[in-house]
Homo-oligomer: A and B are copies of this chain.
Amino acid sequence: MTSAADEKAQRFQIGEVAERTGVTQRTLRFYEEKGLLNPPERMEGGFRLYSEEDIQRIEYIRQLQQLLGFTLADIKEMVEAEELRQQIIATFRPDRELPARLERTQRIIDALTRQLEVVDHKVEHLQKMQEDLRSKLTRMETRKKELQGALAREAKDKK
């Protein structure tokens, strides 16, 4: 008997994950070793089996790394906070211990706030750079047109 939950639980071997995410097998094992990915399930013989969530996490890590230039240490902090956040959300009301839940919630808020500050800071600087590049670009294009105009006149004079 297969429940609806079972049907959804598709797993992938490391090779397929590597292909789908564009991350090498070595790197996947490396991330696991460094605690960025939590150890995936294994088959009897020891082959790793990744879930869809694992794959999403891998893609998230890559974005943080390549697009935003965070170090793996930074990223580890971020994914840990994310995990804690999901755990808290998944916890439906085993009430009692309200103070503890409140405190964990506060910890997540703090982590998110710190992350947001970093991102805000980066966005701000990037936008400045964007403006700067755009204005330089338009100035160079103006110059180009001037040069082309001068060139056209020169050709005409020769005629």
Contacts and interface: CB of A to CB of B under 8 A. Distances in A.
Interface of A: 63, 66-70, 85, 88, 95, 98-99, 101-102, 105-106, 108-109, 112-113, 115-116, 119-123, 125-127, 129-130, 133-134, 136-137, 140-141, 143-144, 147-148, 150-151, 154
A31 B49 CA distance: 45
B151 A99 contact: yes
Given A88-B143, A116-B134, 4 more contacts: A63-B129, A69-B70, A105-B140, A109-B137
Contact of A140 (B68, B85, B136): B85
A88 B146 CA distance: 14
A113 to B, nearest CB: 7
A140 B67 contact: no
A116 B129 CA distance: 9
